[in-house]
């Protein structure tokens, strides 16, 4: 068993290592996919959480477009300056451009011009930085959970092997142990995004753009309502065609800027006012519940295929078959012990039955050889004795046969009952035993060989079998002892009495001495038969000391030649088998 245990332990260590490596590969795939999918989801969901939403980018884009319109207007003025010859037109346009140049200079001083000139929207950069921070925190959480799961990998692999490396078991473990923590981090990330995106201290650029839009709308309104109107009237009287073209281009740019910026700034201002007036910041309404979050990931995980799954399952199957072989061996030993017990019980009964059959044959032979005297008035007493002994022997034979048959039937029934209750395990119980053995091994491989016989499914075979065997053996031994004492030895004992009281009177007559010798020979045969069966006679001699364990007092006499407690006479022999006294010898003791 030690050799088997050592071999199994080595195989188990190799299998655990291979399974752990496989499990790490599978979980790495799942965690990497989790990282990608959840980060992508956080990015998409976080983008929806800002109170200002897409208006952040709109403010920037409208401001940028306005600045470009200003620059383009100033450039047109500079390009067509020499073509504008009308004094009134030149004066109005110079006034407008002076205002625009002043605004552009103020933009430069406020560093807004540099921001607007940039190809990258600073609002988008700010948003991406906030979302990136939340995403990085989520990735750290996922990696920490990967590490936590990895630390418990050995214990998980053992549980996983019990489930035949089922993919669903791995997903369920991740779902129960990992996803709740990741979901919490995911929600925290969204809350962080919302908080930071809506924090006014982090929205200075937006507030600056908002103030800028309000100011510029007022300036543009003044230009359009006063200066542009005056310019339209003045240009009607211009004589230079190029002058008219330049002025109309400038007017078109200003009108377009006013129309677009005026409408956009009004809408955005209304949005900002409404949001600022809403003092109660509503609780974050997470777009995805945990159930949806879990389903989103698990549905994706189920589509992933793991390579080498059949190979590792085959290794687990081979090792399980080794455990099953050990259990089959155990149950095979139980089966062998069962058949050995059946054989032992039958042997126990057959020994007594053979002893009974030989006794019957001895008495039958005695009965067949027993002499009969011819009618003779002088021999009447001897004839009665002979006839009486013959009848007694016949009764003994019939009684022995009947008792032996009854004993045989009782033993056969006891053995049949034992056999019926201890049949070898069925296929269903064998399968249950295999499953239980695999569970016990994975729980404690070190003590497997000591512990599994005590498990209920095996105790059903081992302990119950042992108890059942013990009960059956005890029952049979009682039957054997009773049959031996109350039937076999009783018949021999009473036969001794016949010799002592009846046959002894046949020794006096020459005609019946043959019968006495025949009776003595029969007794000798019986004693040989008993000795062959390891049964010794207890026959104390006169003057032997009385022993209550082996002797039974029939009567006590006072005799001068005997001391108190000495045996005076043996009445019936006793019988001992090994260390057990079957029947005590009947004696007369001195007092």
Interval 68-99: pLDDT, tens:
888 888 888 888 888 887 888 888 888 888 88
pLDDT band at 347 (very low <50, low <70, confident <90, very high): very high
> Higher pLDDT residue, 206 or 423?
423
Residue 283 has a pLDDT of 40
Mean pLDDT of the chain: 84
CB count in 10 Å sphere of residue 367:
17
d(CA 353, CA 345): 12
Lowest mean pLDDT among 67-81, 212-226, 352-366: 212-226
Predicted local confidence at residue 282, as pLDDT? 46
Lowest-confidence range among 103-107, 290-294, 475-479, 573-577?
103-107
Report the DSSP beta bridge partners of residue 586: 552, 572
**Worst-scoring range by mean pLDDT, 273-277, 486-490, 508-512, 581-585?**
273-277
Amino acid 113: pLDDT: 60
Contact between residue 269 and residue 214 where contact means Cβ atoms under 8 Å apart: yes
Between 467 and 115, where is the model more confident?
A: 467
Write out the two tokens for 281: 């910041």
Whether residue 231 is predicted with pLDDT greater than 90 in this model: the reply is no
Residue predicted with more confidence, 190 or 122? 190
**pTM recorded for the entire structure:** 0.56
Q: Taking 80 as the threshold, does the pLDDT of residue 5 lie above it?
A: no
The sign of the CA dihedral 541, 546, 552, 553 is: positive
Is the sign of the CA dihedral 470, 472, 476, 478 positive or negative?
A: positive
* Model confidence pLDDT, tens digit, residues 135-190: 898 899 999 999 988 888 888 998 899 888 899 999 999 989 899 999 998 888 88
Model confidence pLDDT, tens digit, residues 106-117: 777 766 666 666
User: What are 514-567's pLDDT values in tens digits?
Assistant: 888 999 999 999 999 999 999 999 999 999 999 999 999 999 999 989 999 999
Rg (CA), the chain: 58
Q: Which of 177-186, 208-217, 331-340 has the lowest mean pLDDT?
A: 208-217
pLDDT of residue 41: 85
Q: Which residues, at least 6 apart from 29, have a Cβ–Cβ distance to it below 8 Å?
A: 304, 306
Q: What percent of the chain has pLDDT over 90?
A: 31
pLDDT for res 573 = 92
Say which range, 154-168, 258-272, 493-507, has the weakest mean pLDDT.
Answer: 258-272
Q: What confidence category does residue 200 fall into, taking pLDDT thresholds of 50, 70 and 90? A: low
Span 326-347, average pLDDT: 84
Q: How confident is the model at residue 119 (pLDDT cuts 50, 70, 90)?
A: low
Residue 576 has pLDDT above 90, yes or no: yes
Find out whether 358 and 535 touch, Cβ atoms under 8 Å: no
Q: What is the pLDDT, as a whole number, of residue 551?
A: 94
- CA dist 483 and 253 (Å) reads 131
């Amino acid at each position: 068993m030690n050799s088997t245990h050592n071999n199994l332990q080595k195989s188990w260590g190799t299998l655990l290592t291979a399974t752990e490596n496989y499990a790490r590969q599978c979980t790495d795939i799942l965690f990497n996919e989790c990282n990608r999918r959840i980060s992508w989801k956080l990015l998409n969901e976080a983008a929806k959480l800002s109170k200002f939403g897409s208006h952040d980018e709109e403010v920037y884009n409208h401001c940028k477009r306005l600045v470009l319109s200003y620059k383009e207007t100033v450039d047109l003025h500079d390009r067509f300056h020499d073509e504008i010859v009308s004094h009134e037109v030149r004066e109005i346009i110079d006034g407008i451009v002076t205002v625009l140049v002043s605004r552009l200079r103020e933009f430069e001083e406020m560093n807004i011009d540099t921001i607007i000139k940039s190809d990258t929207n600073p609002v988008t950069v700010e948003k991406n930085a906030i979302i990136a921070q939340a995403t990085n925190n989520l990735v750290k959480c996922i990696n920490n959970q990967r590490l936590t799961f990895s630390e418990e990998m050995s214990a998980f692999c053992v549980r996983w092997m019990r489930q035949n490396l089922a993919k669903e078991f791995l997903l369920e473990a991740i779902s129960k142990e990992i996803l709740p923590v990741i979901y919490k981090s995911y929600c925290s990330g969204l809350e962080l995004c919302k908080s930071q995106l809506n924090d006014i201290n982090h929205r200075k650029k937006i507030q600056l753009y908002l103030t800028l839009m309000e100011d510029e709308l007022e300036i543009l309104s003044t230009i359009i309502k006063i200066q542009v109107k005056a310019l339209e009237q003045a240009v009607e009287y211009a004589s230079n065609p190029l002058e008219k073209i330049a002025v109309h281009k400038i007017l078109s740019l200003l009108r377009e800027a006013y129309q677009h910026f005026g409408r956009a700034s009004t809408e955005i201002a209304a949005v900002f006012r409404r949001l600022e007036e809403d003092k109660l910041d509503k609780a974050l309404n997470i777009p995805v519940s945990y159930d949806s979050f879990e389903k989103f990931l698990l549905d994706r995980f189920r589509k992933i295929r793991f390579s080498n799954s059949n190979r590792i399952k085959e290794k687990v199957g081979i090792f399980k078959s080794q455990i099953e072989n050990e259990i089959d061996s155990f149950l095979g030993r139980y089966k062998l012990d069962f058949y050995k017990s059946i054989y032992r019980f039958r042997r126990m009964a057959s020994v007594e039955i053979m002893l009974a059959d030989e006794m019957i044959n001895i008495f039958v032979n005695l009965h067949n050889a027993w002499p009969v005297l011819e009618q003779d008035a002088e021999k009447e007493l001897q004839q009665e004795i002979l006839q009486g002994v013959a009848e007694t022997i016949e009764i003994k034979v019939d009684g022995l046969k009947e008792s032996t048959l009854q004993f045989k039937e009782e033993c056969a029934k006891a053995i049949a009952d034992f056999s019926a209750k201890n049949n070898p395990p069925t296929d269903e119980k064998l399968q249950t035993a295999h499953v239980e053995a695999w569970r016990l091994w994975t729980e404690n491989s070190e003590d497997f060989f000591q512990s599994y016989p005590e498990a209920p499914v095996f105790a059903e075979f081992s302990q119950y079998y042992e108890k059942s065997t013990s009960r059956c053996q005890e029952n049979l031994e009682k039957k054997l002892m009773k049959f031996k004492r109350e039937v076999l030895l009783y018949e021999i004992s009473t036969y001794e009495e016949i010799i002592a009281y009846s046959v002894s009177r046949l020794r006096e007559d020459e005609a019946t001495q043959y019968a006495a010798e025949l009776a003595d020979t029969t007794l000798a045969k019986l004693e040989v038969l008993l000795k062959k069966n390891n049964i010794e006679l207890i026959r104390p001699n006169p003057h032997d000391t009385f022993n209550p364990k082996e002797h039974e007092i029939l009567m006590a006499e006072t005799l001068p030649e005997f001391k108190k407690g000495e045996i005076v006479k043996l009445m019936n022999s006793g019988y001992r088998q090994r260390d057990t006294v079957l029947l005590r010898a009947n004696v007369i003791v001195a007092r």
